Amino acid sequence: MKTIFSKTDTLAIKGIAILLLLNYHNFLEASRYDGFNISFFPFSENTLLALSDVGKTCVAIFVFLSAYGLTLSLKKYSSDTAIKTEQYKDYLLPRLVKLMWGFWFAFAVGAAACAIIRPERFLLYSFSDSIYGIIKGTTNVLCDLFGLAFLFDSPTLNGTWWYMSVAIFIVLIVPFIARFNKKAGALATVGIVVFLPRIILIGTNYNIGAINNLLRYVFVAVLGVIFAQNDLMAKLKDFALKRGGAPSKIIKFLIATILLCGCYYTRNALTSVCNYTFEIRDGIIPVFIICYCYIYIVNIPVIHQVLVFLGKHSMNIFLIHTFIRAYFLHDFIYSFRHWLLIDLVLLACSIAVSIVMELIKKFTGYNRLLNTVLEKIENKRTEKVV
């Protein structure tokens, strides 16, 4: 049977990424649990915080998986994924609608919860009685509603939603990356994306690797496109598991595991020079983690089912967990006092909210409306082709 990197595999890796995300946000820095006596057993506090920092790779993992999936979706319009300019709208509209549809529901849930529990959070939109204040507040709300708050440096109801600007950006640029890569080849594509940010930022305060920004994740998006166009995930899995018998498999597993540990030490070691090594920290290392998980973890019985379940809820968890951890139930979450329990409690609360959200979507017809919209978009595309 031919090996494929399936949608189920993608969901399982999203499940791993969401676990990394929750741990990273829980223990990004000591100030997040200030006032609580937290046990980090069997690690020291510094070791656990360093391990949690590696969880930041979850962003690059999501970008890679998005770029990979979007590239494969281009085959609907062109067998080699190099779509023409006139096909761009056909590709773009349904994907943006689908992306924003999930976000809008989470936005409504978050806004409703804030109105009841933390109404003071709406003050960040800067509304006032003047015409200018009304316009400014409305503009800030719209930027947030359409996932553009990070792009325009405007306030957002949930700090984690900065990623929506990145997600939209990835949807916009993947067809251009795919087409260029098909025309010029992987070496030229990688070369340009490595040097272009540095050229753009000549003469500026070069800070691309130290903060969240759009350019920081273009490199890993390019890797996602290259892997999808060349079916590299499946090829790597075949190479790792099907040649040389059991001894070879064991040796390759040990080498891969040693390299995985090396990724942890390398990422931390590069922190002081992250402006110049973001391709490694937010590109090569996350992709290696994805490959390792795909080859050795996601198909383990029981673990596979759990990870796929988490992957199905990953978008909702990503969109709402900060409300739970930081804005509504901070003291409750950290009251469990052991780092693993804290992670599990936040995960359980986030999953519970996500399940309720999905039930509401189902019974209100929210998902059916999305399917109707997507169907109409597809019908228009088909009519145009005919």
Instruction: Give, for 169, the enclosing helix (H) or strand (E).
Output: helix 163-184
Contact 220, 282 (CB under 8 A): yes
Residue found by looking up tokens 């409306």 in the block: 369
Q: Which of 278, 264, 276 is nearest to 212 (CA)?
A: 278
What per-residue confidence (pLDDT) applies to 201? 65
For residue 223, what are the CA distances in angstroms to 71, 155, 231, 233, 277? 11, 31, 12, 11, 16
**β-bridge partners, 338:** 39
Distance CA 230, CA 158 (A): 37
Helix, strand, or coil (residue 338): strand
Distance CA 225, CA 325 (A): 34
What per-residue confidence (pLDDT) applies to 242? 57
Backbone angles phi, psi at 15, to 5 degrees: -60, -40
Distance CA 20, CA 318 (A): 11
Residue spans of the domains in the chain: they are 7-385
What per-residue confidence (pLDDT) applies to 204? 58
Residue found by looking up tokens 């800070």 in the block: 207
Distance CA 281, CA 38 (A): 28
The C-alpha angle with vertex 254 and arms to 248 and 259, in degrees rounded to 5, equals: 125
CB atoms near residue 358 (< 10 Å):
16
Q: Which of 321, 316, 329 is nearest to 106 (CA)?
A: 316
Which residues in the chain come in under a pLDDT of 70?
Answer: 1, 201-212, 240-245, 384-386
Contact 38, 338 (CB under 8 A): yes
Backbone angles phi, psi at 242, to 5 degrees: -120, 15
What per-residue confidence (pLDDT) applies to 244? 61
Tell me the helix, strand and coil percentages in the chain, rounded to 5. 80, 0, 20
Distance CA 64, CA 346 (A): 25
Q: Which long-range contacts (CB under 8 A, 24 or more apart) does 84-89 make?
A: 88/175
